[in-house]
Amino acid sequence: MDPADFYTGIVAEIYGPLKSFSQDPEPYAVFVQQAGLPALELGCGDGDPLLELRRRGLDVDGVDSSADMLERLRRRAGEQGVQVTVFHQRMEALSLPRRYGAIFLAGPTFTLLPDDATALAALRGIRAHLADGGTVLVPLFTPAPTPAEQIGVARTAVGPGGAELRVSVVAEQRDEVARTQTMLLRYERHHGSDSVIEDRPWTMHWYTRERFEELAATAGLAVTAVTDSGGKRVSDGADVLHFRLQAVCPPRRQG
């Protein structure tokens, strides 16, 4: 499966009810106000925290590779009376009409890019859309292997009309050299005699601190800070790293 197509169909349909948490909008509101407007949220999904930022009057656009998730976002925006501008584009192929003082991901969505080459293309697109003096926020994490006792154990929720919704990890592969972890996720919707069950591979691609800094530099971006989610300095071996980047030069050519 193309990674950009993961959040479609049944996955997008039951994403909201099965979502284990929503991003706190406050750190991102602070970031975009400090870094400068307008702002852009990459991988905005179905609207958290983008809709809350727009409700506060902040000039923030969104972009996502899933048309189904953007449809959910627009529906939620309409229900909440929030006006929002979003674009259906891949992160690694950005072509937007304006540049931004703040570009950010709300959570480690960057790890869903499948390899270093795709990540570099995304960073080059970010650099091209960054206004002079602008700042980028990219949270990254190193996923832990799923404990054996959790394989096959479903997380459940009740959907529209009383449907039973389930998602579980049914298999997992991890490649330390390629820095990838692929989970086979099983999505289920059961409503009376009507059942839909679909398995989808979900790949996360992680980065060492040094490798991400190399990719950023190649894209013309310099790391200005590396912190935890609360803005505190972290050790090199931390599993969660929040990178702040600024433009330093045109992207370097490879060859």
Q: What's the rounded Cα separation, in Å, for the pair 64 and 2? A: 14
pLDDT of residue 255: 45
Say whether pLDDT at 21 is over 70.
no
Write out 43-105 in H/E/C secondary structure: CCCCCCCHHHHHHCCCCEEEEECCHHHHHHHHHHHHHHCCCCCEEECCHHHCCCCCCEEEEEE
Helix axes 116-128, 209-218, angle to 10 degrees: 50
pLDDT tens track for 159-173 = 888 999 999 999 999
Q: What mean pLDDT do residues 100-117 have? A: 95
CB 54 within 8 A of CB 41: no
Compare 229 and 76 and report the one with higher pLDDT: 76
Res 250 pLDDT > 70: no
* pTM score: 0.93
Please tell me the CATH code under which domain 3-142+206-247 is placed.
3.40.50.150
